[in-house]
Structure 1
Amino acid sequence: MLRILQSRGANEIRRRAFATSASAVEEPVTRKGSCTVPVAFTKFDAKEDADPSPPVVLLHGLLGNQMSFRSLVKKPEFAPKRDIYTLDMRNHGLSPHTGEMDLHALSRDVSLFLDNEGIEAASIVGTNIGGKVGMILALEQSDRVSDLVVVDGSPLASDKKLEFVNKIVQLIHDVEIKNYTQKKDIEEDLKKGGIEDERLRQFLMMNVVSDNDEPGFYKWRHGIQAIQEAMPALMNFPVYDSETYTGKSLFAFGKEWSEEEEAAIKKLFPNAAFQSLESTGPYYPAIGNTEKLTEVLNEHLRN
């Protein structure tokens, strides 16, 4: 059984509400002097009799949304005894759009979600930017993170990946999506703009939705302007002098990782394990092999 809901504002009475569109999601609220967003999320109840283990919270990557985990969550063998939550981060999916956009803001949103759902601690699984958010949460609020999995991410910023992602964000920003009445034409425009990989185009097209204000036309679901302006803050991980997370953590990469990445990870996460998912691809390569990802995650969650 699944339910699509939103986390509530910090000072409001907590109640469950079904989200069917972006308009159903509440506005950002102020919390501890910073803008905090009540994110949209879906809860998947345990497929089998639940055990006392913490729930699994899945955090998507940049330009993704909670649907990015659809094929993973649907697998009957994935964490069958655990409740699973998939979240839409701010400016993504059904969550509110806001101008404030950095890794700490995203981390505060997850913390608010945990508070509102009464979750003391969770197994945090994050891909790419979602992984960086999970790392910050683990380093700054270790009691909220029972264990951590970071898929295709590290504290180091890759110049090559940054250049590639910036190109994608710029292309999406420049596509005159309101001029199109056919989705296939939007995808063709992305292809002409340099997105030759079909899997990547399909990934990006998940964010194309009907524009209720202009019937027959489309819009981007995510807040692309805020995302573009926040790229430097999103791609660069904060500097930590003494903080470490000593809980169980796993860093999974699409194919391999560098010695520099391993050293940077071990400095902050001394008990980190590393795993290759034997996958290739130009963007979020680790998600391209869901069979291997399921196997690796289940092994981590069991132990």
Structure 2
Amino acid sequence: MFITRIGRQKLFRSLNIIHKTCPRYFSSKLPSSDTVELAYASYESTADPEDNSQPPLVILHGLLGSKNNWNSMSKAIHRTTGRKVISIDARNHGDSQHSSHHTYVHMANDIMKLLKKLELSKVSLLGHSMGGRTAMVLSLLCSDLVSSLIVVDISPVKTSPQIFSMVNLFDAMSSVDIRPGIAMSKARRLADEQLKNITPDVNLRNFLITNLVQTNTGAYTWRVNLPALKDNFQNHISCFPSNLKGLQYCGPTLFIGGSLSDYIRKNDLKEIQEFFPMANMVFVEGAGHWVHSQKPEKFLKIVCQFLAEK
């Protein structure tokens, strides 16, 4: 068994757990109104027969990201491994529904709901940053659903001080003012100019601007739910849920960190293995927090090798 009797009883008390939500294990008891419909993109072969023996790989993006950020990598992973790849927009991001709630338990339940809809009883999970913590929570709450787990540059036991600068980004994005009716290219340039006041990092600004969208009326807005993200950031997004201690996911687990990032450290491994006893850790030289976009070839090789072996 992946979950001990003591761990299950503890989780029942702390999260009000019910067995029926997850096909063979359990999830937190959330009202159906607290789960949202998630948008996703699926990458699978049409010309060649699928290898149905391999569970699909589900990819979960980070804070202020979207499934679109993983388009090229999703295609490359599918092409290399032959696995079906499903990249998902988290609640309050991309094309998924918005909600005032934004906790890792809520996001894990959203994923469970989608997998049930897609009739998937076993998947591998890959999550970056916020998506990595969502993947960890889902693995702990519903171990039987998860074939293997890949967590990218985030830890369940430590939090980088850099993460708290995100509040400034929320405020900066909220203050961007663009007149309606202008071309998207000009709107992006104007947004970039205004965001320079908060960050000199052009790559970060370009990442944020991927969230700029134009409405049917010609007005510009952000597709991420900034108020909900800001309200939930301090207590829910910036930290790993403390009430999951005592639970374990004992399946194959790989943590991939960037050597230039402080979101995860080598000395975290011992505490990480209290949650994930089979966890191994690898660091990509020259990469920061966005390992997959900064060192894509190395990242692809590590992920595909892990999936081939597990």
Structure 1 residue 70, shift from structure 2 partner: 1.5
Q: Following TM superposition, by how much is the alpha carbon of 1:158 offset from its aligned partner in structure 2, in angstroms?
A: 2.3
Q: Which amino acid aligns with 2:281?
A: F
Aligned to 1:41: 40
- Using the alignment, how far apart are the partners of 1:285 and 1:81 within structure 2? 22
**Corresponding letter in the other structure for 2:240:** F
1:3 corresponds to: none
C-alpha displacement of 1:241: 3.0
Q: Which secondary structure does the structure 1 equivalent of 2:34 belong to?
A: strand
Kindly tell me: are residues 177 and 152 of structure 1, through their superposed partners in 2, closer, same or farther at Cα, counting changes over 3 Å?
farther
Q: Which position in structure 2 is the counterpart of 1:190?
A: 195
Secondary structure in 2 aligned to 1:75? Answer: helix
Match of residue 269 from structure 2:
262
Work out whether 1:227 is the aligned partner of 2:224: no
Q: 1:31 offset after TM fit, Å?
A: 5.6
Give the share of equivalent positions with the same residue, in percent.
28
Query: For the structure 1 residues 77 and 104, does the alpha-carbon distance in structure 2 shift closer, same or farther, using more than 3 Å as the test?
Result: closer
Q: How do 1:61-210 residues align onto structure 2 when only pairs under 5 Å count?
A: 61-75=62-76, 78-177=79-178, 181=182, 182-191=187-196, 193-210=197-214
| Contact 1:279 1:286 (8 Å CA) reproduced | no
- TM-superposed deviation, 1:259: 4.4
Does 42-51 or 82-91 show the bigger shift?
42-51
CA drift at 1:261: 2.1
The answer to whether the Cα contact below 8 Å between 1:72 and 1:78 also exists between their aligned partners in 2 is no
- 1:289 and 2:295 aligned: yes
Per mean C-alpha deviation after superposition, the further-off stretch among 33-42 and 165-174 is 165-174
Question: Take 1:287 and 1:230, find their aligned partners in 2: how far apart are those partners?
Answer: 27
Mapped contact 1:157–1:235 kept (Cα < 8 A):
no
Q: SS in structure 1 opposite 2:149?
A: strand
Q: 1:76 to 1:135 in 2, by over 3 A?
A: closer
C-alpha displacement of 1:299 = 0.4
Task: From 285, 294, 299, give the equivalent of 2:305.
Answer: 299
Corresponding letter in the other structure for 2:275: L
- Change in CA separation of 1:177 and 1:275 when aligned onto 2, cut-off 3 Å: farther
Where 1:149 maps in the other structure, the secondary structure is strand
Structure 1 residues 198-207 or 179-188, which shifts more? 179-188
Instruction: Give the distance between the partners of 1:224 and 1:126, measured in 2 at CA.
Output: 21
Q: Which structure 1 segments of 5+ residues have no match?
A: 1-29
Query: Do the aligned partners of residues 219 and 139 (structure 1) sit closer, same or farther apart at CA in structure 2, a change above 3 Å counting?
Result: same
Task: Give the TM-score normalised by the residue count of structure 1.
Answer: 0.83
Q: Structure 1 residues 163 and 53 mapped into 2: Cα distance closer, same or farther (>3 Å)?
A: same
Q: 1:117 to 1:93 in 2, by over 3 A?
A: same
Query: Residue deviations 1:106-126, cap 9 Å, x none?
Result: 000000011000000101000
CA shift for structure 1 position 296: 0.7
CA separation in 2, counterparts of 1:198 and 1:90?
A: 26
Q: Which amino acid is 1:265 matched to?
A: I
The alpha-carbon deviation at position 50 of structure 1 amounts to 2.1
State the secondary structure of the residue aligned to 2:272: helix
The corresponding residue for 1:25 is: none
TM-score for the superposition, normalised by structure 2: 0.81
Task: Tell me, in whole angstroms, the C-alpha distance in 2 between the residues paired with 1:78 and 1:161.
Answer: 35
Structure with the bigger percentage of helix? 2
Query: For 1:247 and 1:78, how far apart are their aligned partners in 2?
Result: 25
Amino acid in structure 2 at the alignment position of 1:228: K
Corresponding letter in the other structure for 2:167: N
> What is the Cα deviation at residue 100 of structure 1?
1.0
C-alpha deviations, 1:217-244, integer Å up to 9, x for none? 3110111111111102011111233211
Per the alignment, residue 248 of structure 2 pairs with 244
CA contact (8 A) 1:71 1:290 kept: no
Report the RMSD for the aligned CA atoms in angstroms.
Answer: 2.1
Indicate how the Cα distance of structure 1 residues 78 and 230 shifts in structure 2: closer, same or farther if over 3 A, else same. farther
CA distance in 2: counterparts of 1:170 and 1:132, whole angstroms: 24
